[in-house]
Amino acid sequence: MKNTFGNSFSVTLFGESHGQAIGAVLDGVKPGVELDLEKISALLKLRKGALAFSTKRNEKDEFKIVSGFFEGKTTGTPLCFVIENNDTKSADYSKMKNIARPSHADYTAFLKYHGFQDYRGGGHFSGRITAALTAAGAVAMQILETCGVKIGTHILSCGAIEDRHFENYESDFSALSKLDFPVLDEKAKEQIEARIAGARKNGDSVGGVLETAVTGFPASVGEPWFDTVEGVLAHILFSVPAVKGVSFGCGFDFGKMVGSEANDPFAIENGKVVTPTNNNGGVNGGITNGMPIVINCAVKPTPSIYKTQKTIDFEKNENTDLLIHGRHDPAIIHKASVVATAATAIALLDLLSGRFGTDLEIK
């Protein structure tokens, strides 16, 4: 289905970096949900990233909801966001249009679209499109909140620097919603910021690892085969730009563990079934068990760097050197963290709507 994700709740994306507008159509929206537009704006603002590290493109991200929203509430029919593009300097791009920026999509886009793609600023591949994805996710989050579900993401590591894991989800999520640079531990935050500043100075960029957690999500959701909760979440999370790995619970650390340390024993505590450990990240056999869903995403370093790189001109079919000019970020993990939250919300709302119906009557 290409640019559409989801069955019961779905999101369709459109737009290019330097086209007229970008946007998203949300379908299967629960009717009657009051939307807090300020919260959507706030998430979009976080997505643009902390100013010190982020590009100077003055994206206004002023969104319009052109359908599916009436008298302050969702109608249940498709909700369409439109975000106009401004401040686009297309002249920068035309001469570079056949030069493949390493680890970018220029070359693969050329092959797929036979050269007809809008090449300006990455076109439909641009991180700009994540503004639409984030707006969609912000709505999904507000619908999920009516069911008691909350989501937060922070930078778990960058280089060798590690943030602490979530401790108190409630207060950590609340803190993160206000942080323009989502690191829980103050000292780790400073170190990561310093590492990024160093990379910038060096004309280079950094990657990192994100940790997303979801609380309040009902048990019994997901499928044993194919539409596992892990599979559905990973499917969308690889659309967060630069994400190259997705794992749940202990993830790749499981490879070093033995069963007796990896297993999560069940227990009844205060009349509720829990697993005192949560190595499986809230999912057993593809189905949620009622514990927090815990996800890690690996984010590669921003491919745009201020260094001369070897590459090709795919029109002339010859090798060439490339020094990328213009604005670009030494890090996008902090932006990716917002998009990961949004993407997680979209996938989980889809799963929830499929399980309990479009009115979300959860028992």
The interface with a copy of itself within residues 78-97 (CB under 8 A) comprises 78-80, 82
What residues between 190 and 219 interact with a copy of itself by CB under 8 A?
Answer: 199, 202, 204-209, 219
What residues between 165 and 194 interact with a copy of itself by CB under 8 A?
Answer: none
Contact call for residue 248 and a copy of itself (CB under 8 A): yes
Residue 94, CA distances (Å) to 40, 98, 99, 326, 348 in order:
34, 9, 10, 13, 40
| Phi, psi for 110 (deg, rounded to 5) | -60, -45
Of 35-43, 67-75, 139-147, 165-173, the segment contacting a copy of itself by CB under 8 A is 67-75
Which H or E run includes 86?
none
Of 137-145, 170-178, 277-285, 334-342, the segment contacting a copy of itself by CB under 8 A is 277-285
Which H or E run includes 135?
helix 130-145
User: For a copy of itself, which is the closer residue by CB, 141 or 352?
Assistant: 352
Contact call for residue 284 and a copy of itself (CB under 8 A): yes
Closest separation between CB of residue 358 and a copy of itself, Å? Answer: 6
Among 49, 68, 137, 182, binds a copy of itself (CB under 8 A): 68
Closest separation between CB of residue 178 and a copy of itself, Å? Answer: 25
CB neighbours (10 Å) of residue 53? Answer: 20
What is the pattern of x (binds a copy of itself, CB under 8 A) and - over residues 98-137? --x-xxxx-xxx-xxxxxxxx----xxx---x---x----
User: For a copy of itself, which is the closer residue by CB, 66 or 174?
Assistant: 66
User: For a copy of itself, which is the closer residue by CB, 138 or 324?
Assistant: 324
Of 44-52, 170-178, 181-189, 229-237, the segment contacting a copy of itself by CB under 8 A is 229-237
- Look at residues 262, 261, 236 and name the one whose alpha carbon lies nearest to residue 249: 262
User: For a copy of itself, which is the closer residue by CB, 171 or 263?
Assistant: 263
DSSP string covering 290-357: SSPEEEEEEEPPPS--SS-EEEEETTTTEEEEE---S---S--HHHHHHHHHHHHHHHHHHHHHHHHT
What residues between 306 and 335 interact with a copy of itself by CB under 8 A?
Answer: 307, 309-312, 314, 317-319
Which H or E run includes 67?
strand 63-67
Distance CA 293, CA 232 (A): 13
Among 37, 52, 194, 267, binds a copy of itself (CB under 8 A): 267
Contact call for residue 45 and a copy of itself (CB under 8 A): no
| Cβ-count burial 167-206 (b if 16+ within 10 Å, e if not) | eebeebbeebeeeebbbbeeebbebbbebbeebbeeeebb
Contact call for residue 39 and a copy of itself (CB under 8 A): no
Of 42-50, 52-60, 169-177, 280-288, the segment contacting a copy of itself by CB under 8 A is 280-288
Closest separation between CB of residue 162 and a copy of itself, Å? Answer: 10
The torsion angle over the Cα atoms of residues 47, 77, 352 and 166, rounded to 10 degrees, is: 20
Q: Is 312 left (phi over 0), alpha (psi -120 to 50) or beta?
A: beta
Contact call for residue 303 and a copy of itself (CB under 8 A): yes
| 8: its two tokens | 């019961």
Distance CA 255, CA 85 (A): 45
Among 5, 63, 173, 181, binds a copy of itself (CB under 8 A): 5
DSSP structure class, residue 34: B
Closest separation between CB of residue 173 and a copy of itself, Å? Answer: 22
What is the total count of residues that contact a copy of itself (CB under 8 A)? 153
